[in-house]
Amino acid sequence: MKTHKVEQLVIATVGFFWCFLMWFSTAAFSPSIANHYNLSLAALGLLASSAIWMAPIGRIVAGWAADRFGAPRTFATILAVCGLVSIASAYTTDYDILFIERVIVAIAGVSFVVGIQHVAQWFEPDEIGTAEGLYAGTGNVGAGVGALLLPRIFGLDYQAAFLWLGVIALGIAAWYLLRGEAAKHEKVRATARQSADFRGTVFVWTRYIAIALMLAYAMSFGLEIAMNAWLPGYFTRGFHEAILALGFTSIAGVQIAAGTFAAVQSFTASLFRPFSGFMSDLFQRRGWTPLPMIARTLPYAPRLHWLAISLLLITLSMVAFTVAGLMNSLPLSVMVLVAFGIFVSFGTGGTFALVPLLFPDRPGVAAGFIGGVSTAGGIVYPLVFAHVGNIHMGYLYIALFMFIPFTLFYFWAARYEHHPEDHGIGENWLKPRGETVVEKA
Amino acid sequence: MHGNDTQVKSHEPWYKYGVAFMFFEMFIAIAVSAYSLYMAFHGLGGFPGKH
């Protein structure tokens, strides 16, 4: 089959966009579902949290499957299963069954790592940042588009939305199978297939640099999804008087205003992500390595420096967010939030501009570990925010007690000037036989 | 700098279109955010309006 890497990028991006649309479609219609089934607030919270349940483990399995079976088969299977269950959920009348079906549809969120693996198998090291950024950033917008457009297109008729989302998912699954190619060269494909064994998987999980990248992604994407869930409530409670003063006096009005401020983070974090990949490529091309401690002679060293800068900016913006909140300044908080969303995108884009270069033989396994475990941040951070006495202080506590140690660990793990991907727990006996290293770059 | 990856070489033709699309996305992000915040700070709701 004659194809081009841009076609593969488009297929992966469309598939991922649609998966994200399905992933967050339950949240978009949660008021309708709650109204239809008379759900309590606790049940509504459970429904809202269901989207993240499958992500940590599911992404690990999906990443391994992409290396083992190839991205087209894995992605098509995810699309087909989620599409069929989405269609079934359109005809369900029992809430318990509907809840289980929507948890299964939420598996669509694991597709991220499959597309990352697919793009990594096609693009060259000097353009991987932009390619992965375009894939992930454009696909991520599916969440925002779903929240924005689905209720406006389908109104309260969530069954029709679930039906159409499922039918189109089946169409994209067929397209992926027909036109998708796992890798640019059979040799690359064969290497990934052979490396997806248990020993190789444990090897990746125990590398210090893989753990550091996982923490970096927890600081960026984990924080992004945590803030998606947390910020509407934060603005409603933390700036209630200021929002009332703007003229939003009804409960619905306050929700819209708080949701609007919160959406700024989600939107900028998604749409600036390709820019971060581009910046990673630019650092690489110009050879910029401005930070102390971090390796400077590795083939991808400038990308390590770009990600480190991103982590520092995220930490600083968390501190600034607390300061703006304590000053009780709504405009300043929103301004900081815009910068915060951009810095988060720097972290997400910067991380996955590195992953395929650090683990070229097993990009799926690495993406599954780094992109999967890190999503637990989406659960942990809101718990911390909710258990701090002052609603504005949670960001500062996370910055001081989690992000500074995470960043220091990253600096420590990225200091090796010779194959950082070889350093880890049990490095002498875990190193897979016949391991190839990054000289491919 | 060392390593092949840092050698400056010309990109393939697709790259400029990819970067152009990237800037288009950033423009949308800035425009929607600015419009949405303008609406909210004037008590008019968020994008695309109504409250």
- Note whether A126 and A172 are same-domain residues: yes
- A231 to chain B: which residues are within 8 Å by CB? none
Last residue of a domain, one of A194, A217, A252: A194
Interchain CB distance below 8 Å, B22 and A256: no
Q: pLDDT-based confidence at A355, cuts 50/70/90?
A: very high
What pLDDT score does A437 carry? Answer: 41
Interchain CB distance below 8 Å, B3 and A441: yes
Q: pLDDT-based confidence at A348, cuts 50/70/90?
A: very high
Q: Please report the DSSP string for A103-172 in residue order.
A: HHHGGGGGHHHHHHHHHHTTS-TTTHHHHHHHHHHHHHHHHHHHHHHHHHHHTT-HHHHHHHHHHHHHHH
Task: Flag whether A430 is in a domain.
Answer: no
- Note whether A170 and A311 are same-domain residues: no
Interchain CB distance below 8 Å, A299 and B3: yes
A40 contacts chain B (CB < 8 A) = no
> Is A207 in a helix, a strand, or coil?
strand
- Note whether A123 and A243 are same-domain residues: no
- A126 to chain B: which residues are within 8 Å by CB? 5, 9, 11
User: Is the predicted pLDDT of residue A19 greater than 50, yes or no?
Assistant: yes
- B29 to chain A: which residues are within 8 Å by CB? 267-268, 270-272
- Note whether A137 and A170 are same-domain residues: yes
Search chain A and give the residue with CA nearest B16. A130
Residue A112: give its domain's CATH number. 1.20.1250.20
% of chain A beyond a pLDDT of 70: 96
Q: What mean pLDDT value characterizes chain A?
A: 89
Task: Flag whether A380 is in a domain.
Answer: yes
- Note whether A58 and A77 are same-domain residues: yes
Task: Flag whether A250 is in a domain.
Answer: yes
Task: Flag whether A437 is in a domain.
Answer: no
Mean pLDDT within A271-292 = 93
Interchain CB distance below 8 Å, A137 and B25: yes
pTM recorded for the entire structure: 0.86
Q: pLDDT-based confidence at B46, cuts 50/70/90?
A: low
- Note whether A310 and A401 are same-domain residues: yes
Does the structure's ipTM exceed the value 0.85?
no
Task: Flag whether A76 is in a domain.
Answer: yes
- Note whether A167 and A233 are same-domain residues: no
Residue among B35, B37, B6, B16 at smallest CA distance from A336: B37
User: Is the predicted pLDDT of residue B5 greater than 50, yes or no?
Assistant: no
- Note whether A279 and A385 are same-domain residues: yes
What pLDDT score does B48 carry? Answer: 54
- Note whether A163 and A218 are same-domain residues: no
Instruction: Give B35→chain A minimum CA distance, Å.
Output: 10
- Note whether A190 and A204 are same-domain residues: no
Give the one of A127, A268, A297 whose C-beta lies nearest to B2's C-beta.
A297
- Note whether A116 and A223 are same-domain residues: no
State the amino acid at position A65 in one-letter form.
Answer: A
Task: Flag whether A432 is in a domain.
Answer: no
Last residue of a domain, one of A173, A194, A215: A194
Last residue of a domain, one of A137, A162, A194: A194
Task: Flag whether A347 is in a domain.
Answer: yes
Number of domains, chain A? 2
Give the dihedral of Cα atoms B27, B28, B31, B33; nearest 10 deg: -120
A83 contacts chain B (CB < 8 A) = no
Task: Flag whether A35 is in a domain.
Answer: yes
A247 contacts chain B (CB < 8 A) = yes
Vertex A161: Cα angle to A160 and A166 (nearest 5) = 100
Containing structural domain, residue A405: 197-424
User: Is the predicted pLDDT of residue A245 greater than 70, yes or no?
Assistant: yes
- Note whether A354 and A382 are same-domain residues: yes
What pLDDT score does A118 carry? Answer: 95
Interchain CB distance below 8 Å, B40 and A272: no
Give the one of A274, A297, A334 whose C-beta lies nearest to B25's C-beta.
A274
